[in-house]
Structure 1
Amino acid sequence: MAKTLKTSPYVNLNLNVRGLNQSATLQINERSNQLIKQGTTVYKLGLGQSPFPVPEIVQEALRRNTHQKDYLPVKGLLKLREAIAEFNYRHQGIEGSADDIMIGPGSKELIFILQLVYYGELIIPTPSWVSYSPQARIAGRHVSWVPTSEESEWKLSPEKLDLICRSDPERPRVVILNYPSNPTGATYSRSWLKKLAGVARKYKLILISDEIYSLLDHEGNHVSIAQYYPEGTIISSGLSKWAGAGGWRLGTFTFPENLKWLQNAMATVASETFTSTSAPIQYAAVTAFEDHPEIDEYLFHSRRILKSLGNYFAARLRENYITVPTPKGGFYLFPNFNIYREKLAGRGILTSFELCETILRETGIAMLPGMEFGRQPEELTCRIAYVDFNGEEVLFKAMNEYKDRPLNTDFLRKHCSKMLYAMDKLEEWLLDL
């Protein structure tokens, strides 16, 4: 009889990886899909995936380049890097060249490699995107969470950033500033960005400005902090959110000239890991970053839809006494159910995890608990991604039938009915507490 080798599940695992779970956003998506296969009606408000199709002009560019099979330069296709440099100047007035750009298989990978090669403490506000902190842990970096407040729409305070840095002003640090924010939908004014830039300059911080949602600013008025702290800001972006191309896995970093050494170090690691980003995707992405009226129209109507849905959801939540900032960009809400704390406690619901688990089980609404974004478990916050609708159909209606008409509640009820029904279900659940 053959012997089986019994081992601990942690054998041979790096200490930095032990105890880590799969990304919460991917977990909730897989769990939602599993429940759907079992016949359960699920409202997928967990995974933050754009509902809109990749712009047709970009899809066509991919079809034209399916034959591209050669390894491309580690830092990326030259023509694509040139297009991104022109894109940065066109949208933000930031001057640069192809030499300042690096392409990777998703901005997530690029952020991880930066933490791997740069020996510095990671500073992130809480709440923050679910993968920043685990990446730092895998790379063996210390993480400092900067507390934020609901009153300030969960935004990073220049004063609190300064307070963390002043205790050891010479310490190497990386700050990640993500806006429009995942998970809150908040963004920053010019005056706020200038103050943050002043603190970053004071302590010579490396600032990763995660602007993956920048083109989904609901008013189309995104401002990059690189305008105010050009010498230390790396702009992180890609195709996943504004172009609906999450599965294409293409991310971009734009470096200032004096951080060329960091770009080169990252390229060295890239050469020994992912080698280069998919060739057909890079060739197609050239079109995405070029100036095309079709893409401008696509973005204009995408913003209209997301703004209408975000405003509607925020208003409905507040009607039920749930506090939530109105989102200014992207497709997220970060509501706080604290008003229901006593009633929830009566049902044994004491944490954001228990809150989301119970709501999923009893209503089919999938959300993510605030604790996954760095909040304390007992805080009854959660993230709602208002994306469970047929983006292709809704975008077509907005661009044609409603081109010159407001996207009011009637439009949302007719074309985003599942989203609104999810809100109805949540409201019924709260009334039954």
Structure 2
Amino acid sequence: MNPMLQRLQQNLRDTQHSETLLVNQIANQRAAEDKPIFRFGFGQSPFPVPEHVVAALRVAAHRKEYLDVQGLPELRSTVAKFHSARQTQQWSSEQVVIGAGSKILLFCLLAAVQNADVALVAPGWVSYEPQARLAGHRVYHLQTELEQHWRVTPEMLEQFCSQRRDLERPLFLILNYPGNPDGLTYSGEQLAALANVLRKHGVMVISDEIYGLLHHRGQHVSIADYYPEGTMITSGLSKWCGAGGWRLGIAHIPVQLGADYMQRVIGVCSETFSCAPAPIQHAAVVAYTEDERLHQFLQQQRSILADTGQSCAQSLRQAGVAVHDPEGGFYLFPDFSAYRDKLAACGITSGAELTQTILEDTGVTLLPGSAFGMPESSLTARLAYVDFDGSQALANGNQYHSNMEEGIKRLCNWLQTRTPGVSVASG
């Protein structure tokens, strides 16, 4: 067989249905069958799109024209101003690209380079590896540990960069923080230390900061502040604005990476999504415009998510599960390893078996750690604590939400039933 076709077939075999989307389908099917379901598997914002942004979309609904591939100039300018106010590095509108979601922009950034190596932090988001393989790149995982708060360290990065087989191949590192699936982030000191290694080895960084505005204390720091010449940032409306289905993503490409690279990225964009939808782009101008409504909306979300996440984490720890308090976004990454022997006695030896059995017995949907680059034997899982009505939460303030509370209680009680003798919290 032609080697090119053989490689393409292998890449396609390695590309499966996104597990995050699949678990949402499973949850919908159980709900349709009137079975109990607790939607802790799919990471979708529970909050509504702010009404003034929805109103802007109504006004722009008639817009039907194709826009520039790079994006509506007014939107690029507004996005640049918005992010410049939050970073030490100033954004230029000429370096901003607007896409039909940050997911496709991530692919375009990767596909604009040929025959690269891509380093992924494990655990990490499910789509990074398939996208890198579809772009024809080699993929490597930097395996982190619970004790490291699931963060890559400068020492780990230095070892990987120093031991690469082919130093002539371009190297990408994809970072995501606050993280999916772990809800944890990096401090400025940690990012500065990573930047020293990245600069030494000339690594191109794709910094996926889609949850940055949902840092629970509003203190998100970008690695671009420490490594501006080599860091591309992606973000969008899906998480902080509650507008996942609107498919509006942004990317900022530093001028130091060169005009040729920028043009190649825009070329890939033009051959994939053409342009982000015109009505959505016009509404996004309003979404990214600074005013008191925006600040209040962000603060309310952060407070609710922090309280909910910490309550869930506390209950899990009381049940003997190892998990860190979240720092941003809406995920926990619990580790059930303390139950390994007792679960093995029940025939459960992998994360996939663990989450499948939990779903069948309790109706709680989780995603196994193996979906995020962890070994099959890892008894880790992602828990998205978003199964509540975001509109009611915004109206009622900070309180633990009944469906979340019931789902966590069922999960903890399931552990007690499956592994008797362990003290479990009541809720």
Q: Which TM bucket (shorter chain)?
A: over 0.9
Secondary structure of the residue that 1:102 maps to in structure 2? strand
Once the two structures are superposed, residues 347-403 of structure 1 have per-residue CA deviations (whole angstroms, 9 ceiling, x without a partner) of 1000000000000000000000000000011110000000000011111222xxxxx
Paired residue for 2:137?
141
Q: With structure 2 as the length reference, what TM-score do the two structures score?
A: 0.94
Identify which of 236, 239, 261 aligns with 1:238. 236
For the Cα contact (< 8 Å) 2:43–2:330, is it kept in 1? yes
Once the two structures are superposed, residues 295-345 of structure 1 have per-residue CA deviations (whole angstroms, 9 ceiling, x without a partner) of 110010100000001111111111011101111000000000011111111
Alignment of 1:360 onto 2:359? yes
For the Cα contact (< 8 Å) 1:81–1:102, is it kept in 2? yes
Paired residue for 1:60?
55
Whichever residue aligns with residue 205 of structure 2, its letter is L
TM superposition shift of 1:140:
1.7
Identify which of 90, 103, 107 aligns with 2:102. 107
Instruction: Name the CA distance, whole Å, in 2 between partners of 1:347 and 1:193.
Output: 42
Written as runs of structure 1 = structure 2, the 5 A alignment for 1:244-255 is: 244-255=242-253
TM superposition shift of 1:147:
1.3
Whichever residue aligns with residue 247 of structure 1, its letter is G
TM superposition shift of 1:12:
13
Give the paired residue count: 410
Root-mean-square deviation (Å): 1.5
Paired residue for 1:288?
287
Paired residue for 2:408?
423
For the Cα contact (< 8 Å) 1:170–1:203, is it kept in 2? no
TM superposition shift of 1:273:
2.1
Whichever residue aligns with residue 107 of structure 1, its letter is S
Instruction: Name the CA distance, whole Å, in 1 between partners of 2:132 and 2:150.
Output: 22
Q: With structure 1 as the length reference, what TM-score do the two structures score?
A: 0.93
Percentage of pairs with the same residue: 45
Once the two structures are superposed, residues 72-97 of structure 1 have per-residue CA deviations (whole angstroms, 9 ceiling, x without a partner) of 00000000000011011111132132
Paired residue for 2:202?
204
Whichever residue aligns with residue 414 of structure 2, its letter is W
Identify which of 23, 26, 32 aligns with 1:31. 26
For the Cα contact (< 8 Å) 2:14–2:130, is it kept in 1? no
Instruction: Name the CA distance, whole Å, in 1 between partners of 2:205 and 2:320.
Output: 37
Instruction: Name the CA distance, whole Å, in 1 between partners of 2:393 and 2:320.
Output: 29
Instruction: Name the CA distance, whole Å, in 2 between partners of 1:302 and 1:236.
Output: 21
Instruction: Name the CA distance, whole Å, in 2 between partners of 1:256 and 1:114.
Output: 12
Instruction: Name the CA distance, whole Å, in 2 between partners of 1:222 and 1:19.
Output: 34
Written as runs of structure 1 = structure 2, the 5 A alignment for 1:80-229 is: 80-119=75-114, 120-168=116-164, 169-229=167-227
Secondary structure of the residue that 1:209 maps to in structure 2? strand
Once the two structures are superposed, residues 154-211 of structure 1 have per-residue CA deviations (whole angstroms, 9 ceiling, x without a partner) of 0011111111111245541010110000000110011000011111110111101100
Instruction: Name the CA distance, whole Å, in 2 between partners of 1:221 and 1:390.
Output: 26
Instruction: Name the CA distance, whole Å, in 1 between partners of 2:324 and 2:318.
Output: 13
For the Cα contact (< 8 Å) 1:102–1:263, is it kept in 2? no
Written as runs of structure 1 = structure 2, the 5 A alignment for 1:5-84 is: 14-84=9-79
Segments of 5+ residues of structure 2 without an aligned counterpart are: 419-427
Given the superposition, is the C-alpha separation of residues 427 and 112 from structure 1 closer, same or farther in structure 2, using an over 3 Å criterion?
Answer: same
Once the two structures are superposed, residues 393-420 of structure 1 have per-residue CA deviations (whole angstroms, 9 ceiling, x without a partner) of 111222xxxxxxxx3xxx21xxx10000
